A and B are shown apart, each in its own frame.
Chain A
Amino acid sequence: MPKMDLSKPQRQSPIGVGVLFFKKLRVAINIFISIVVVQFGFQSNFSSLSFGLMVGGVLLVVFIVAYLHYRKFTFYVEEESFIIEKGLIRRDKITVPFDRIQSVHINQNLIQRILRVVGLKIDTAGSAIKELEIAALPKPYARSLQEYLTAKRDSVLKQEIEIEGEEKLEEAQEIVSRGEKSPLIKLSVKDVFRIGLTENHLKRGLILFAIINGYVWQYEEYLLAPFKELVSEYEDFVMGQWIVLLPIGIIAFLIVALILSLLQSLLRFYDLKFFVDEKGVQLIAGLLKKAEYQIPVNKIQFITWTSNPLRKLLGLKTISVKQAGSNQAGDKQSMLVPGATQEQLNVVLDEFYPERHSSAFMSFYSHRFFKTQLCVLFGIIPSLLLLVLWFLDPWYLLVSPIWLAISIPLSIRFAASWEIECNKDLIKLKRGWIFPKVVIIKYYKLQNLKLNQNFFQKNRKTVHLDFFTAGGNIRMWQLDEKVAKDLYDFILYKVESSNASWM
């Protein structure tokens, strides 16, 4: 354990003023821009003296706020807890008992990288405590603080365990540094590009469209006003040529989505290193913000892997490791590793799920009612609706059967792809055909089970089966009632008869 004197309140590095300054500035700019646009529109003279003064004033205020926040932010150790005090107007004192610390992360965003400091973040076992982040520390200091806190945590846990007379220390231990080890997955710039190119562009494009749409409406008056005459002049022309313009629009849309995918994967997965060993997993990645993230083996709740048609061609899968945590925190609980080959996936599975070889799997598929249900929901009903629209435009008479012809086979294939496999120790849930997804869970990681049967399912004798874990929920759709009840009894029995800890 590194020697550290934390009995007196410590401040972060003075560079913290800079980090805080940019953080607050970002908030200020967002507010400022809205006010300026709404107040003066785009006609305002940005070079005027009053505007300059205003900007200067805002910068000064932000700097003072950042400085005061820096002065008022202290951390220290008291009794068996790590304490952070912060806040200008509302003073917060956050106390974290050592044994509640789950892990300590070090990360670095662009500003921190330029200013040559790192941020330190503490994850706790409880969901009630949040925002435990120290914005600016010199890297060696952060490292030793990280080691100090984890060592303290371990020694406190050790004492508790000695009192209880149990031998659970292994569970409490954690990976601190894996510098010398070679990563299982290491992505070169080329790999990152390949991942970016094979992203699900459709999904990303739609999200982008939604965001742009939102922004455009917000500032519509100012953004579109100068083009109003132009638009009205060409309106008839544009409307008449939509058949030509639509494909151009779609191509433009795809290109923008592609560029965004590339940018995002570069930002997020640049220089990605993924480590796996018997203690757990660790991920280091990022271009501007270098994130370092680790999950100890006992905290892993389940693992999923997904693919898409483009990635399938390259033989790449995305692995996602789900960690125990509060559901509110959402996606932060999972570690995403793109660009894994089947061999690399097998290494991960053999490390954490050796039981998959110990006994044979038995598989069950969704009931055939599932196919009917999906065909009706996504095929027949929409195409009937399209058919009804024919009086608006005769084109719909053609669109409706096309929709039917496409959606029915897709629905049937999708329904048929749902499969649940069990052996003596784990379940595997497979679904999807174009975007396949597989989930693997050990029985003892399950929290509880739920069986759902609605009015329609009662006659068909089918049920949905819900599996709840601390890392998220999974549903198996439309299982045969008898199979589901056998599974329900069997899985409950497995959970209840296992002594292994889920955490």
Chain B
Amino acid sequence: MSENLNFVPTEESPKSLFENLEIDKSQIPSIEEVNFTKLEKDFLWMRITSWSIFLFVVLGFLVIISFKTETAIWKLSAPWLGFLILVIILEMRGFKIKGYAIRQNDISYKSGLIFFSMTSVPFNRIQHVEVSQGPIGRLFDLATVKVYTAGGSTSDLRIGGLIKEEAHRLRDHISHLSSQHA
């Protein structure tokens, strides 16, 4: 039994999943072939802004600490600035990966440079759709569309970085599609 423990599909592997289940592969749409819509460029700036705010708050504390302990400020803050630069590089590269796609029967979202993930929610499983906007989002006029299913909070799909009007339009579109599929 130990020889065939690893199923690694190669050219000579006899049957694919689809052949074995007698299903025509051309019938099944492939998520790989879908073009994902990129998010608004402002979303990148929004993310960088919120990281910067967080780091400046930390920097503020560091200044206080440096006064109290009489340590040089650059010794304390250099790692934090390095961290900010790293975060900005990661955000810029990661932004290219983020995107959403609406197909005939489902909606998908992908993201993550270091931890890539892709989620697809079929329209006939959507519980409700919601638009939300935080304080920093308001500055950039960006909103998030959240798609809820009964699969629990870890399974919810969130599309950040949409212009507010666009987000409302997308929400209406998704709820329309999901009510059609119900």
Given contacts A447-B149, A468-B151, A492-B106, contact A365 B28 (CB under 8 A): no
Contact A416 B117 (CB under 8 A): no
Q: Which residues of chain A from 468 to 503 have a CB within 8 Å of any chain B CB?
A: 468-470, 472-473, 480, 482-483, 485-490, 492-493, 495-497, 502-503
Residues of B within 8 A of A360 (CB): 20
Say yes or no: is A88 at the interface (Cβ < 8 Å to chain B): no
Q: Which residues of chain A from 313 to 337 have a CB within 8 Å of any chain B CB?
A: 324, 327
Contact B9 A483 (CB under 8 A): yes
Contact B120 A488 (CB under 8 A): yes
Q: Which residue of B lies closest to A450 (CB)?
A: B119
Q: Which residue of A lies closest to B147 (CB)?
A: A448
Q: Which residues of chain B from 1 to 41 have a CB within 8 Å of any chain A CB?
A: 2, 5-9, 15-18, 20-21, 23, 27-32
Residues of A within 8 A of B28 (CB): 489-490, 493
Shortest Cβ distance from residue B59 to the other chain A in the assembled complex, whole angstroms:
29
Say yes or no: is B142 at the interface (Cβ < 8 Å to chain A): no
Residues of B within 8 A of A453 (CB): 115-117
Contact A502 B119 (CB under 8 A): no
Contact A455 B114 (CB under 8 A): yes
Question: How many A-B contacts if CB must be within 8 Å?
Answer: 123
Say yes or no: is B132 at the interface (Cβ < 8 Å to chain A): no
Q: Which residue of A lies closest to B1 (CB)?
A: A416
Say yes or no: is A105 at the interface (Cβ < 8 Å to chain B): no
Q: Which residue of A lies closest to B107 (CB)?
A: A448
Interface residue range, chain B? 35 or more
Contact A448 B149 (CB under 8 A): yes
Residues of B within 8 A of A327 (CB): 152-153
Shortest Cβ distance from residue B3 to the other chain A in the assembled complex, whole angstroms:
11
Residues of B within 8 A of A472 (CB): 152
Say yes or no: is B154 at the interface (Cβ < 8 Å to chain A): yes
Shortest Cβ distance from residue A488 to the other chain B in the assembled complex, whole angstroms:
6
Say yes or no: is A423 at the interface (Cβ < 8 Å to chain B): yes
Which of B16, B27, B152, B153 has the most chain A CB atoms inside 10 A of its CB? B152
* Contact pattern, A 354-371, Cβ under 8 Å of B = 1, otherwise 0: 000001101111011000
Contact A449 B120 (CB under 8 A): yes
Contact of A496 among B16, B21, B106 (CB under 8 A): B106
Q: Contacts A451-B118, A489-B31 given; 16 further ones with Cβ under 8 A?
A: A327-B153, A368-B8, A447-B150, A447-B151, A447-B155, A448-B121, A451-B117, A452-B116, A454-B114, A483-B9, A488-B31, A489-B30, A490-B23, A492-B120, A496-B105, A502-B150
A residues adjacent to B (C-beta < 8 A):
324, 327, 359-360, 362-365, 367-368, 416, 422-424, 446-455, 458, 466, 468-470, 472-473, 480, 482-483, 485-490, 492-493, 495-497, 502-503
B residues adjacent to A (C-beta < 8 A):
2, 5-9, 15-18, 20-21, 23, 27-32, 105-106, 114-125, 149-155, 157
